[in-house]
Copies of this chain bind each other. A is one copy, B any other.
Amino acid sequence: MRVQTLYYKNHVLYVLDQLQLPRYKKYIVCRDWRQVAQVIKKMNIRGAPAIGVAAAFGIALAAREQNTSDRQRFLDQIYIASKALVSTRPTAVNLAWAIKRMLDYLETIKSRDIKGIKTFLEKKAQQVLAEDVLINKKMAVQGEKLIPGNARVLTHCNAGALATAGYGTALGVIREAHKRGKKITVWVDETRPYLQGARLTAWELKEEKIPFYLISDNMAGHFISRGEVDCIITGADRVAANGDTANKIGTYSLAVLAKENCIPFYIAAPCSTIDLHIKSGSEIPIEERSAEEVTCIAGKRIAPPGIKVKNPAFDVTPHKYITAIITEKGIVKKPYLKNLKKLKKSL
């Protein structure tokens, strides 16, 4: 990938504006944490790992932007920012995870001078970013073993480089299989309403010259039933202790279709997406987004005015439909309750 999802330079966070893709490659300049909260909320940046990394820089900026010499006031401002950042999007646990990581680190350095804390927090956020890329590459190496040669792989939403600090989760696995010469063809769901598939995944695959077909979401079942899909792989926004997985709306339906047609359904997600505090999928908060995302496309209204709309951004796939969960530490299979616990303990 020639384009970076986000990068930090001279105390400024640059966020690729994914609302403008694939038409324009423009970066939004974030000089304070409020701007970071805004780009996450508005989905200029999206994808569970990517918003986690962005939030880590949000914490660094919350420190950097202050002029106070009062340590308690300085720390309080960071805590206020962290609370606001964590509330921008409720479903992806990586957001809370990255912020907690920054705060845990802050705890260990908070007796230092303010200038030092600012610098250390920036370095820590840079580390969170670098690690994310590394984790994705490890995940890709683990996951590509599951992908047969000549496989026709279906993916939903964008779990690519754009959803992370680089390389991607589900798309990282596909990228790795392609790199190793496996002759992959990808089915790309357009992923309404935000069109992450049509706008982002199609763009990434085109850039990488990985063959693919774009389809609308409701076509997936047709091709699966005709034996034209060998496996499905998606990312995740939160995996519960029992393996139930929240991911982009439409994922559940794909998992059911996979089961009905006897093809494997894989999740690719870093260990930070696994949330053992959540027992099952029913406890995962599902974000409801604005009606306009459904009734307007690219600024054009497609439905009559004044109607009722539902727009859940995610759904939950019960663990029974998931063949395996690919992480950077290995591939997790059933029983998930036991094996996810074991995995997390090993970290």
Contact = CB atoms under 8 A, between A and B. Distances in A.
Per assembly, the copies of the chain total 2
A213 interface: yes
Contacts of A249: 216, 218-219, 222
Q: Is the interface of A mostly helix, strand, loop or mixed?
A: mixed
A12 B211 CA distance: 49
A181 interface: no
Interface residues of A, number: 55
A65 interface: no
Interface in A280-319: 294-295, 297-304, 306-312, 315-316
A140 interface: no
A206 interface: yes
Contacts of A299: 300
B302 A298 contact: yes
A237 interface: no
Contact of A221 (B216, B256, B301): B256
Given A221-B252, A249-B219, A22 B300 contact: no
Interface in A189-215: 189-193, 195, 198-199, 202-203, 206, 211-215
Rank and list the top 6 A-B pairs by shortest CB-CB distance, nearest first: A218-B250, A221-B253, A192-B216, A298-B300, A222-B315, A217-B218
A49 B203 CA distance: 39
Given A256-B260, A302-B297, A307 B214 contact: yes
Given A190-B192, A302-B195, A220 B253 contact: yes
Contacts of A217: 192, 216-218, 250
Nearest to A219: B249
**Which among A218, A221, A297, A315 has the greatest number of chain B C-beta atoms within 10 A?**
A218
A225 interface: yes
A249 B189 CA distance: 14
Contacts of A253: 218, 220-222, 253, 257
